[in-house]
Structure 1
Amino acid sequence: MTAPALITLAHGSRDPRSAATIASLTELVRCMRPDLRVEESFLELSDPSPLTVADRLVAEGFDEIVVIPLLLTQAYHANVDVPQVLEAIRQRHPHVSVIATDVLGIHKSFLGVLDLRLRAALREARATELDALVLASAGSSDPLANAHVARVARAWGARHKLPVLAAFASTAPPATGEAVRQLRNDGKRHIAVGSLFLAPGFLPDRAAELALEAGAVAVSDPLGASPELAHVILARYAVGAVDLVPIPV
Structure 2
Amino acid sequence: MQAILYVGHGSRVKEGNDQFRAFIKKAKSDFSGDYFQTEAFIELSKPTIAEGIDWCVQNGATAIAVIPVLLLTANHANMDIPQEIQAAKRKYPDIVFAYGKPFGIQADVVDVALKRLADAGLPLLAEEGKRQEGTTVLVVGRGSSDGNQPSDVAKIARLLYEKTACDNVETCFMAATTPTVAQGLAKVEKLGAQRVYVLPYLLFTGILMNELADTLADRKGNTDTAYVLCEFLGSDDGLAPVLVGRVNEALREIKGGCG
* Category of TM-score, reference length = shorter chain: 0.7 to 0.9
SS in 1 for 2:194: coil
Distance in 2, matches of 1:225 and 1:51, equals 28
- Would you say 1:26 and 2:24 are equivalent positions? yes
Report the alpha carbon displacement of residue 205 of structure 1 after superposing the two structures with TM.
2.0
Distance in 1, matches of 2:103 and 2:242, equals 7
Which amino acid letter does the alignment assign opposite residue 135 of structure 2? D
Query: Structure 1 runs of 4+ off > 6 angstroms?
Result: none
Indicate if the aligned counterparts of 1:176 and 1:208 stay in contact, CA closer than 8 A. no
Distance in 1, matches of 2:121 and 2:211, equals 19
**Residues 1-249 of structure 1: pairs in structure 2 closer than 5 A:** 2=1, 4-35=2-33, 36-122=35-121, 131-162=135-166, 163-214=168-219, 215-246=225-256
Distance in 2, matches of 1:203 and 1:248, equals 41
Identity %, equivalent residues:
24
Report the alpha carbon displacement of residue 247 of structure 1 after superposing the two structures with TM.
6.0
Which amino acid letter does the alignment assign opposite residue 59 of structure 2? E
CA RMSD of aligned residues (A): 2.4
Report the alpha carbon displacement of residue 239 of structure 1 after superposing the two structures with TM.
1.6
Indicate if the aligned counterparts of 2:4 and 2:36 stay in contact, CA closer than 8 A. yes
| Structure 1: 5+ residue stretches without partners | 124-128
Closer, same or farther: CA 132–246 of 1 in aligned 2, 3 Å: closer
Distance in 2, matches of 1:218 and 1:32, equals 35
The normalised TM-score by structure 1 is 0.87
| Structure 2: 5+ residue stretches without partners | 123-131, 220-224
Distance in 2, matches of 1:222 and 1:52, equals 28
The normalised TM-score by structure 2 is 0.84
Indicate if the aligned counterparts of 2:116 and 2:232 stay in contact, CA closer than 8 A. yes
Report the alpha carbon displacement of residue 174 of structure 1 after superposing the two structures with TM.
1.8
